[in-house]
Structure 1
Amino acid sequence: MDKRILIPTDFSKNALNAARYALDLYAKLNCEFYFLNVFRLDHYTTNTLIMPEPGSPEFEAAKAKSEEGFAKLLDMLELHHDNPKHSYHTISSFNFLSEAIKQTIASKDIELVVMGTQGATGAKGIIFGSNTVNAMEKIRECPVMAIPEDLRFSIPKEIVFPTNYKSTFRRKELNYLIEIALMHQTSISVLHFKKETSLDESQEANKQLLDDILENVDHSFHILTDKNVARGITSFVESRKSDMIAFINKKHFLFNSIFSRPLVKEIGYDAKVPILALNES
């Protein structure tokens, strides 16, 4: 069965860049790419009592503008990414972005969402836009990958996987990480935050389980002693010229533990590599 990937787009340069990265990353697989554009109406606000209806001049004009954007996008992609393994679909939606993404994931059985980290309205200096952080926080149905602005695709040689070994690992959670690693012969560097002097019994068991799950992938274990986790991950990635960061998006405490909300943004300020948020099964 073809892999189904959703790429939200606002037709910005950054969104186009994310699309190109996804097409190159999955060039070897049969994929269906769904491009989603959420359109807005210029004069409509949440204070307006009357919702614009499909068929109204305002609604149809905004939808037509979205469809024009898709025509240009597909022309560009087909010019540079003529891959017989890939097919493209477009969806124009009048909705909130997070709701439109969730609806598309459900209706099209999407397996992965790929987003640019900043759209056309992104503030200078902030690479992780609020849409991307919200998507990583709210989307539980499938993994979310964020692609930094201006990043050109190169075959990933190393993916950094930060963990504290405090939760049990499941193969299902790591499927997408392993798939990318096997597809490109990529190594995985497991990075442990060392606060305690040694691992306790359950952490040791979890580390061994992870070792077993990654048995078919080239992988290694590393220790991080930097008290500032964001800075530690960033410097580890830079020093080794790693190509991606992947982490498991824990249900209840992702945004106040290892990957606290400020941390995701903090890494995002200097993000030079894609970040893959995997979901807890």
Structure 2
Amino acid sequence: MDKRILVPTDFSKNALNAVRYALDLYKKQNCEFYFLNIFRVDSYTTDTLIIPEPGSAPYEAAKTKSEESFSKLLDMLKLHHDNPKHTYHTISTYNFLSEAFKQTISKKDIDLVVMGTQGATGARGVIFGSNTVNAMEKIRECPVLAVPEDVRFSTPQEIVFPTDYKSAFKRRELSYLIEVAKMHDAAIRVLYVAKNPDLNDNQENNKQLLEDILESVDHSFHTLTEKDVSDGITSFVESRNSDMIAFINRKHFFFGNVFSKPLVKEIGYDATVPVLALH
């Protein structure tokens, strides 16, 4: 069964880096890649109430520009990433980012979204940065992998999975993480960051459940006594040279008042390794 992967692009260097990362991560799998460009029409902004019509000169010019950029991208991929296991599709659309994501994910039955974390800086209509973080928060149908601009692909050997053990784990939530780990023989390092390292009975039970779910992959459990969760995760990742951070993006865990700021925002804006948000 082919994996279906959506990679939004604004044709910036950062977006191209995310494309390359996705192609390398899935080098050995049969995949269909859907590249999505949300084009903007110069004389219109989302604030103006008039929406440019297909067929109007500004709309068609912007669409043509998007399609030309895609043909350059595909030529380049043919040259540097010619993989018989991969098929490429392009989608040029004038739409709101969240709407374009929603439609494409459901129409194309997407398994994973891969995004860069910064856009072409200062460019108008740029769709990354805070948009990547929003996508990680809003997309609930499939996992989202955010790839920082300076990260070059190397085979993941260690994936850090931060958790507070406060809610029970479900196998299907973690199936994607296990799949990536198996694909690259990577180890999963479960990380608990808290001022008080002791677990209550409920947390112990959830930890045991996690142990059972991860039994088919190399994994280990770690505890850090640190008052700031995102600092704790960052220092753990840096000290071990880990390759990826994965977490379950549950509303009450990341958006409740467990933390002063949502963790996805803190890690998302300041990531030094790819971040995988599972749902």
TM-score range, shorter chain: over 0.9
Check 1:240–1:246 CA distance in 2 against 1; reply closer, same or farther (3 A cut): same
Please say if 1:41 is aligned against 2:36.
no
Return the alpha-carbon distance in structure 2 between the equivalents of residues 261 and 75 of structure 1.
42
CA drift at 1:138: 0.7
Check 1:215–1:87 CA distance in 2 against 1; reply closer, same or farther (3 A cut): same
* Unpaired segments ≥5 residues, structure 2: none
Return the alpha-carbon distance in structure 1 between the equivalents of residues 270 and 131 of structure 2.
17
Check 1:44–1:9 CA distance in 2 against 1; reply closer, same or farther (3 A cut): same
CA drift at 1:261: 4.8
Match of 1:170 in 2: 170
Please say if 1:73 is aligned against 2:51.
no
Return the alpha-carbon distance in structure 2 between the equivalents of residues 259 and 216 of structure 1.
32
> What residue identity is the alignment partner of 2:142?
C
SS in 2 for 1:232: helix
CA drift at 1:98: 1.3
* Unpaired segments ≥5 residues, structure 1: none
> What residue identity is the alignment partner of 2:115?
M
SS in 1 for 2:181: helix
Return the alpha-carbon distance in structure 2 between the equivalents of residues 98 and 236 of structure 1.
33
Return the alpha-carbon distance in structure 2 between the equivalents of residues 230 and 151 of structure 1.
19
Count of residue pairs the alignment pairs up: 275
Identical aligned residues as a percent: 76
Match of 2:181 in 1: 181
Bigger mean CA deviation after superposition, 229-238 or 269-278? 269-278
Match of 2:138 in 1: 138
1:104-123 equivalences under 5 Å are 104-121=104-121
SS in 2 for 1:121: coil
CA drift at 1:30: 0.6
TM-score of the two chains, using structure 2 as the length reference: 0.94
CA drift at 1:222: 0.2
After superposition, what is the alpha-carbon deviation per residue over 1:227-258, rounded to whole angstroms, capped at 9, x for unaligned? 01111110000000000000001034523356
Alpha carbons 2:194, 2:229 under 8 Å: kept: no
Return the alpha-carbon distance in structure 1 between the equivalents of residues 24 and 259 of structure 2.
28
1:1-281 equivalences under 5 Å are 1-121=1-121, 129-257=129-257, 261=261, 263-279=263-279
Alpha carbons 1:190, 1:221 under 8 Å: kept: yes
Return the alpha-carbon distance in structure 2 between the equivalents of residues 268 and 25 of structure 1.
20
Alpha carbons 1:161, 1:191 under 8 Å: kept: yes
Check 1:31–1:257 CA distance in 2 against 1; reply closer, same or farther (3 A cut): farther
Bigger mean CA deviation after superposition, 41-50 or 181-190? 41-50
Check 1:225–1:197 CA distance in 2 against 1; reply closer, same or farther (3 A cut): closer
Check 1:134–1:23 CA distance in 2 against 1; reply closer, same or farther (3 A cut): same
> What residue identity is the alignment partner of 2:76?
M
CA drift at 1:134: 0.6
SS in 2 for 1:35: strand
Alpha carbons 1:161, 1:247 under 8 Å: kept: yes
TM-score of the two chains, using structure 1 as the length reference: 0.93
> What residue identity is the alignment partner of 2:193?
F
CA drift at 1:47: 4.6
> What residue identity is the alignment partner of 1:18?
A
SS in 2 for 1:178: helix
Return the alpha-carbon distance in structure 1 between the equivalents of residues 232 and 260 of structure 2.
14
Check 1:168–1:224 CA distance in 2 against 1; reply closer, same or farther (3 A cut): same
Alpha carbons 1:231, 1:267 under 8 Å: kept: no
Return the alpha-carbon distance in structure 2 between the equivalents of residues 94 and 187 of structure 1.
41
RMSD (CA atoms): 1.7
Check 1:265–1:197 CA distance in 2 against 1; reply closer, same or farther (3 A cut): closer
Return the alpha-carbon distance in structure 1 between the equivalents of residues 27 and 196 of structure 2.
42
Alpha carbons 2:197, 2:223 under 8 Å: kept: no
CA drift at 1:66: 0.5
Bigger mean CA deviation after superposition, 235-244 or 265-274? 265-274
SS in 2 for 1:207: helix
SS in 2 for 1:160: strand
Alpha carbons 1:115, 1:146 under 8 Å: kept: yes
Return the alpha-carbon distance in structure 1 between the equivalents of residues 51 and 30 of structure 2.
40
Alpha carbons 1:135, 1:144 under 8 Å: kept: yes
